[in-house]
Structure 1
Amino acid sequence: MHSDHDPAQLLDPKLLTLFVLLYTTRSVTRAAEALEQSQPTVSAWLARLRELLGDPLFVRTGAGMQPTPRAEALVEPVREALQSLRRISAPAREFVPAQAQRGFRVCMTDASHITLLPRLLRRVRAQAPRVRLEAIPIDDGTPRELETGHADLALGIIPGLESGFYQQVFYEQDFVCLVSPQHPLIHDTLTLEQYQAAAHVQVLSGKSHALLEEALKAQRVQRDVLLRLPGFLGLATVVADTDLVATVPRQIGETLARNGGLKVLACPIAVPRYTVKQYWHARMHHDPANRWLRNLCASLYMNG
């Protein structure tokens, strides 16, 4: 006895095509011509079809091959099945940025909202004016978001991704210190002694924060942290208006300094560099829209 999922039970598409042709033409001869097969071949296919469906399906009469009630009941499902098979076999639809009307969800840190997102949005607006972007946070759920297709891409640093993900390196990041140009004690350089004597603002955002803390601990450097912030919002204003020192990744540091008139100084402690990458799930690797967005990001951000 065949099970529901036994492939032997599934009808060959050529038999389904014959069924529709016989229904339309009422003639084995004309069906054979349309299929470019010999009449004996088509008769053998019809015999197979009758055997599989347990019904004569078409009965020879003076007015040609007339469908049985079972054939009448089956003709619409068979047409739909053929249409579905054609859709499955059709080549993947191209992604045309200028005509696209869809959204992309990109996982990124709040630092990337300031450094990466404006450039990405400008390029997207130029190439695909009706495409919408949504920035969502990078967190422990990011791998799952990418896997389910709830997110299209992640930009940043996501250590320890399991197999099934692709990644592309953009650039390396080191750390810099930001101070106010009016800082009473720190001017054009920052020594380790000054660093340890200064008051600091700590930003608790992203994986870079953990790297910095580990480096400080490994080198037994104590910081006097007077302010903790959950992210980079407001950081530039705080540094500009106080004597606090901020230790941040170079790209966000240089962007905030440029926009807020701050001083960028070399960091007096050695913090390991880290790599900013883009990540996507294997199931989206061949998707034309996802590939377009990845290529766009790579052209903008590779090598910083």
Structure 2
Amino acid sequence: MTRSPSRQPLDLNLLVTLDALLSEGSVAGAANRMNLSPPAMSRQLARIRHLMNDPVLVRAGRGLVATPRAEAVRAQVRQLVQDAEGLVRGNADLDPATIERTFTIRSSDGFVGTFGAAIVELVVQQAPNARLRFVGEGNEDVDSLRDGRVDLDIGVIDGMGPEIRLQTLFRDRYIGVVRADHPLAQETVTIENFVAYPHVSVSRRGRFEGPVDTALALQGMRRTVSVAVANVADGLSIVSRSDHIVLLPGRIAAWYRRDFHGFELPVVTDELPPISIAWHPRFEKDAAHRWLRTCVREGAL
């Protein structure tokens, strides 16, 4: 007789696999994180789908998105895995109030402006003797993580190699942002009036073009990007006193939209690369470092 999935013995390793899949949002990312081949991870996903009687992750454009059932259990699965890790490693009873340490976090000004206050509040409440040092993005090298000059790297991270631990914080998409009394704040945004105004590009590498330009070109349209700046604050400063439009990740822009107007783009672009946290394996089992990673994840919810 065939047993139903709910009566099968539970393989607890599948919880770790599910956590990796939901965190990474891709089979390839989860496979890399768990040192498995993509085909092996696909087989694990098939087992999870059978066990939960749910697709768990479904195709959306070029990526995968979690089903409502998977979203509902995401936080619970993450907590179960963290509790298990703490139990096995013997660090589950760390009291954050005893931490006296300065942690250095490398991230963009947009991330700090949006999530910094929530992260700091968690740290102050739980570990009043700990200190945070936020430093700007620049040369995202492995050495600074390896030697402890930087505890966590936060942003769009690639090219660091398999040595570095990586976990997705969230995924985002571009929206348009203008000053609150901009003409576009009072009318429906179309491709025609979107390209009629000048644009600001926020790019650390000084790029004037991006995915939205590719999408516009498919419609036979082109925007005018008259200035490129290195950070969000400078872009918003220009937008606040001009008719320029700036494109920002939606979650980053949410904080600033108290003073600005945000709108959906009139063209469809791919989802932005995920915002992730990166750290060196030497801190993988460090209880205080794990606590810091938890604060960052909770603060960025």
User: CA deviation digits over 1:171-199, x for unaligned, max 9?
Assistant: 11000001123223552431111121111
For residue 270 of structure 2, give the secondary structure of its aligned residue in structure 1: coil
AA partner of residue 265 (structure 2): C
Query: Could you tell me how far 1:217 is from its partner in structure 2?
Result: 3.9
CA distance change for structure 1 residues 188 and 168 in 2, over 3 Å: closer, same or farther?
farther
1:1-304 map, 5 Å: 95-184=94-183, 187-205=186-204, 213-217=210-214, 219-220=216-217, 221-258=221-258, 260=259, 262-273=260-271, 274-301=273-300, 304=301
Task: For 2:240 and 2:212, locate their aligned partners in 1 and report how far apart those are by CA, in whole Å.
Answer: 26
User: CA deviation digits over 1:228-273, x for unaligned, max 9?
Assistant: 3221224434323321111111122221112x2x111001233321
AA partner of residue 252 (structure 2): I
Contact 1:170 1:278 in 2 (8 A): yes
CA distance change for structure 1 residues 149 and 185 in 2, over 3 Å: closer, same or farther?
closer
CA distance change for structure 1 residues 150 and 237 in 2, over 3 Å: closer, same or farther?
closer
What is the TM-score of this pair, normalised by structure 2? 0.62
Query: Could you tell me how far 1:294 is from its partner in structure 2?
Result: 0.8
CA distance change for structure 1 residues 170 and 210 in 2, over 3 Å: closer, same or farther?
farther
Show structure 2 runs of 5+ residues with no match.
Answer: 1-89
Contact 2:101 2:131 in 1 (8 A): yes
User: CA deviation digits over 1:17-68, x for unaligned, max 9?
Assistant: xxxxxxxxxxxxxxxxxxxxxxxxxxxxxxxxxxxxxxxxxxxxxxxxxxxx
For residue 233 of structure 1, give the secondary structure of its aligned residue in structure 2: helix
AA partner of residue 272 (structure 1): D
The answer for the alignment partner of 1:40 in structure 2 is none
Identity %: 24
AA partner of residue 236 (structure 1): L
User: CA deviation digits over 1:255-298, x for unaligned, max 9?
Assistant: 1112x2x1110012333212112111112100111111011222
Task: For 1:163 and 1:242, locate their aligned partners in 2 and report how far apart those are by CA, in whole Å.
Answer: 45
AA partner of residue 216 (structure 1): D
- CA RMSD between the two structures: 2.6
AA partner of residue 251 (structure 1): R
Query: Could you tell me how far 1:213 is from its partner in structure 2?
Result: 1.2
Aligned length: 208
Show structure 1 runs of 5+ residues with no match.
Answer: 1-90
Contact 2:208 2:225 in 1 (8 A): no
What is the TM-score of this pair, normalised by structure 1? 0.61
CA distance change for structure 1 residues 215 and 241 in 2, over 3 Å: closer, same or farther?
closer
User: CA deviation digits over 1:81-121, x for unaligned, max 9?
Assistant: xxxxxxxxxx8897532122210011111111201211111
Contact 1:284 1:290 in 2 (8 A): yes
Rg: which structure is higher?
A: 1
AA partner of residue 134 (structure 1): R
